[in-house]
Amino acid sequence: MKWWQRLRKNPLAQLGAGLLIFFYVVAIAADFVAPYSPYTTQMDGSLLPPTEIYWVNPEGEWIGPHVYPTTQGPVDIDTGERQVMVDWDNPSPLRLFVKGEPYKIFGLIPFDRHLFGAVGPAHINVLGTDEQARDQFSRLVFGSRISLSIGLVGISISFPIGMIVGGISGYFGGWVDTIAMRLVEVLMTIPGLYLLVALAAVLPVQITSTQRFLLITIIISFITWSGLARVIRGQVLSIKEREFVQAARVMGANSFYTIVRHVLPQTATYVIISATLTIPSFIISESVLSLIGLGIQQPDPSWGNLLSSATNASILVLQPWLIWPPALLIILTVLAFNLLGDGLRDALDPRSVQR
């Protein structure tokens, strides 16, 4: 039975793959899915709760799904809470593929349609608004681009380094192996989170979010490849003694060519499984850094800095829509990658299944 056939029989792996496909499609199409720009503020719309959808007007007449213009009113003297003011005279119907803020598809094709929205003066805030009166759902959708891409960029940097260092170390052995493994051991003793916090804290304040994103990714990649290199080195020690590697040597093949062409491909099963299980660590690291203010900075959104409002106890209690959605998405993404990784492990190496 082929590995993809075994994978199709694993419902948990299919669930993980389905969630990840959905999340990445939404991230790619964020401009279309989000009804508003993540930077647009609404007049008198700070900390609004999720918009309530109505089907009948105040007179009881059916007019279909619609919303009303909503703003923050004065503070209630008795409760200390801000009142929500609703303009019942201006219903705004909800529609699919509505015209909204213009954008460019892949930065090239001008387009102004969004998946859904309100036609009229009202706004549809699915998850309410933040303290800057920005639509929380739109920021969550756009924030997925950073939080989901950091893992892919991270493994594209760390895994080639780990594979090459581990391959060279295991293939040549001797002093090359000794130096490489001592370097790996030094890197593995570095506490990752403390290094991230220390290095992120000294980054210049004036750098852009894109530059900060790349620097954070490089920092995380720098401390991630060592574990992979150690495992690859152990596998290469066994693989280099096989007949096809010996045949390549006898035929005079270059050592580096032999490693890349014949030895490292034999570690593909482990690398694929390890990649799916490593990506969550990049996502969590970015989220932690952004949560404590050392990652992606406002006003640019990421799931981590959307959680930064969790440090305010009053917001945690009074505006829970600002906390739970990004936290839930981080949990679901990490869980989905773990489910897919376990499924790939069982499908690519059936001997790993515990009977």
| The domain over range 141-352 is classified in CATH as 1.10.3720.10 | yes
Distance, CA of 207 to chain centre: 22
The encoded tokens of residue 283 equal 């996502």
Question: How many angstroms separate the CA atoms of 295 and 213, rounded?
Answer: 7
Question: How many angstroms separate the CA atoms of 67 and 140, rounded?
Answer: 21
The encoded tokens of residue 319 equal 């505006």
Q: What does the pLDDT read at residue 355?
A: 38
Q: What does the pLDDT read at residue 349?
A: 66
Contacts of 310 (CB under 8 A, 6+ apart): 291, 316, 322, 323, 327
Q: What does the pLDDT read at residue 4?
A: 67
pLDDT digits (tens, 9 = 90+) for 37-62: 999 898 888 888 899 999 998 888 88
Question: How many angstroms separate the CA atoms of 112 and 96, rounded?
Answer: 13
Q: What does the pLDDT read at residue 306?
A: 86
Q: What does the pLDDT read at residue 79?
A: 62
Q: What is the pTM (predicted TM-score) of this model?
A: 0.86
- What string of pLDDT tens digits covers the 355 residues of the chain? 676 677 778 888 899 999 999 999 999 999 999 999 999 898 888 888 899 999 998 888 888 999 999 988 776 666 666 778 888 888 999 999 999 888 888 778 888 899 999 998 999 999 999 888 899 999 999 999 988 988 888 888 888 999 999 989 988 888 988 999 998 888 888 776 677 777 766 777 677 777 777 877 887 788 788 888 988 998 888 888 888 888 888 888 788 888 888 888 888 888 888 888 888 888 888 888 777 777 787 888 888 888 876 666 566 667 788 888 998 999 999 999 988 888 888 777 655 444 3
How would you label 88-97 residue by residue, b for 16+ Cβ within 10 Å and e otherwise? eeebbebbee
Question: How many angstroms separate the CA atoms of 120 and 143, rounded?
Answer: 27
Question: How many angstroms separate the CA atoms of 163 and 71, rounded?
Answer: 56
HEC letters along the chain: CCHHHHHHCCHHHHHHHHHHHHHHHHHHCHHHHCCCCCCCECCCCCCCCCCCCEEECCCCCEEEEEECCEEEEEECCCCCCEEEEECCCCCEEEEEEEEEEEEEECCCEEEEEEEEEECCCCCCCCCCECCCCEEHHHHHHHHHHHHHHHHHHHHHHHHHHHHHHHHHHHHHCHHHHHHHHHHHHHHHHCCHHHHHHHHHHCCCCCCCHHHHHHHHHHHHHHCCHHHHHHHHHHHHHHHCCCHHHHHHHHCCCCHHHHHHHHHHHHHHHHHHHHHHHHHHHHHHHHHHHHHCCCCCCCCCCCHHHHHHHHHCHHHHHHCHHHCHHHHHHHHHHHHHHHHHHHHHHHHHCHHHCCC
Domain ranges of the chain: 51-124, 141-352
